[in-house]
Structure 1
């Protein structure tokens, strides 16, 4: 999304709110000042913690992160900022926490954290979610019995320029590459890579030009860089850096990771230190730590990077979303008045 020409930035916010409240919010952010303005929302879903926008910008999808969870479809009008539920399907597992729509707009992929499986659904022309087409279950455990007693699938992302998808599993320390067979509606496991034991893979970001994957590790508070070979779906580890400053010894877990549009800077969120770790990205794609910026709230979970201009951060435990303008040195600086949002978890830009 670009904020050029003074266009407002449309942001869909997912939360850990109850079905009685409008747990999905539509906000507009002023690209000049960073001010937030609420445009609408919708109730009727428990814990809509993560959302995804259809490439046609006519439909929105959300997980209901509950026991015996669900995936839900909405018709939405970007001009009127209105949302209306179309239908929902069971997620075939517990605590679905992430979902993505493929570039054709025909397939929805999601993961269930507590049951450690990836699920695939067809999307109808009307935006509705069809019955389950396929699923893949992860197996195994990690060295941390408190968090890695079994598989915990945490995200599923399309790998740019390919038909492959990368699933992160916090419980098994696994990075799973699936090929989506769009003709048959099937998932084919192409490769399985083990990250650093006990690291807890959570989310990834992709370099805009190089075949590099940046992994945020929830349990080890680190960012790792991998080279992806599309020919055999292999992931080669290249680098790993901490997300924390020297001397910080308190409890911390990481949550999210994003690059600027140009790929010049990378950011990672710390929950505990309550900050964004800032990295400069070299011409070879490797990282250099540039410091930390407070998110001005507690437990920054998800955040969004808009072009090379803005970082928008959601502070789950202080009920706020904050705008940060990216400086020429890549360091974000807060601007505008934070939005007051109950338990914000996901900030999803609506591309123009």
Structure 2
């Protein structure tokens, strides 16, 4: 009798559904790694590599040339389009169609970035606008998008006046990042030249979608040089890496308002050499923060995040095995980190310990000219 009951249970629709559901993959195991570069060396433009999450390996897929200095890029939320800056004195932004399965890219169009040396680009989830930070001219521009992925002429350009104490690097405004808040109600942009994080309200429906928030900015230590920032997963905290000071500032965040609560140095005790912080990213589970530092440091610094307060505790200092780790990316599974060493034409893969956040080199190296920006996309 017990055997008959067991057989009936095993054949029941509920049991079969539960088994099928449990046997399904929890997301893709392969991804595309899209790489932005400087084309002043051996690189031709944007490259795409297939990334295998089970072993951390990379395999070449495609490359598009004739694109000048696509140093920073972003992908649309549907992964059909790539938007890249062209970091030149007369700055431009470029749009490409993208096929994740093959890695194929086709240029759609270009537009002026309304500034010199654009160094950062972001796109909203609805694919209405892109936001470009022009470093040398200190401007932030908003450019509308067509349904075909094309970029229209800028509808708004903003410029922050002022300067910082460093006469060589902070003689004027230098916009370094323009990023939307997770709810996309605000745009935050970091200004290395004025030591400020500027905050603007964003309303996509308006002809000029950005307007100053109240308060409209928060300042950091003079001479620190804000570069990149990252939001915590619970949206309660913001982590800001400063290029010139090599610090990480922790802010409480609430509806466009920032309040500083902690500052940690990226430098080892007693270090006196040249340094310049670059990229800052969270682990996918939000438990660890990683920051790259360049020049005479060339390392990734790891911090654990207190989940109650958002504050940081030092965990590890790991060599990048190259010169100037300009960017890095953590794969969506959280198992591996890919590090781009701009000045040594190399990319290295590191394994991430899920329990401690520590990095261990896998030994895998990719030779590629002047890698600057790394973005993951599902390989559909």
TM-score where L is the length of structure 2: 0.89
Deviates more, 1:81-90 or 1:33-42: 33-42
1:95 to 92, 108, 117: 117
1:267 to 279, 283, 290: 290
Deviates more, 1:29-38 or 1:72-81: 29-38
Q: Distance in 1 between matches of 2:240 and 2:357?
A: 20
- Residue 280 (str. 1) matches residue 307 (str. 2): no
Q: Is this contact kept in 2: 1:14–1:50, CA < 8 A?
A: yes
Q: Is this contact kept in 2: 1:19–1:45, CA < 8 A?
A: no
In the other structure, the counterpart of 2:157 is 135
In the other structure, the counterpart of 2:98 is 76
Q: Is this contact kept in 2: 1:310–1:326, CA < 8 A?
A: yes
In the other structure, the counterpart of 1:240 is 263
Q: Is this contact kept in 2: 1:315–1:344, CA < 8 A?
A: yes
- Residue 332 (str. 1) matches residue 354 (str. 2): no
Match of 1:350, SS state, is strand
Report how many residues are paired.
Answer: 348
TM-score where L is the length of structure 1: 0.96
Q: Is this contact kept in 1: 2:42–2:369, CA < 8 A?
A: no
- Residue 46 (str. 1) matches residue 72 (str. 2): no
Deviates more, 1:320-329 or 1:303-312: 303-312
Structure with the higher helix share, 1 or 2: 2
2:170 to 148, 151, 171: 148
In the other structure, the counterpart of 1:199 is 224
In the other structure, the counterpart of 2:13 is none
In the other structure, the counterpart of 2:339 is 313
Instruction: Note the C-alpha offset of 1:21.
Output: 5.2
Q: Is this contact kept in 2: 1:21–1:44, CA < 8 A?
A: no
Q: Is this contact kept in 2: 1:163–1:180, CA < 8 A?
A: yes
Instruction: Note the C-alpha offset of 1:9.
Output: 2.3
Bigger Rg, structure 1 or 2: 2
In the other structure, the counterpart of 2:318 is 293
Long gaps (5+) in structure 1? none
Q: Deviations over 1:270-323 (max 9, x none)?
A: 102100011010122100011200111110011112243221110001111111
Q: Is this contact kept in 2: 1:111–1:154, CA < 8 A?
A: yes
- Residue 342 (str. 1) matches residue 342 (str. 2): no
Q: Deviations over 1:242-264 (max 9, x none)?
A: 11111221101000100111111
Residues 8 and 195 (structure 1), Cα distance of their counterparts in 2 relative to 1, 3 Å cut: same
In the other structure, the counterpart of 1:212 is 237
Q: Deviations over 1:14-67 (max 9, x none)?
A: 011149952110011221222221100101121110011011111100000001
Instruction: Note the C-alpha offset of 1:158.
Output: 1.1
Instruction: Note the C-alpha offset of 1:201.
Output: 0.4
Q: Deviations over 1:132-185 (max 9, x none)?
A: 111111111011111111000001111112411110010000101111221114
- Residue 184 (str. 1) matches residue 206 (str. 2): yes
Instruction: Note the C-alpha offset of 1:228.
Output: 1.5
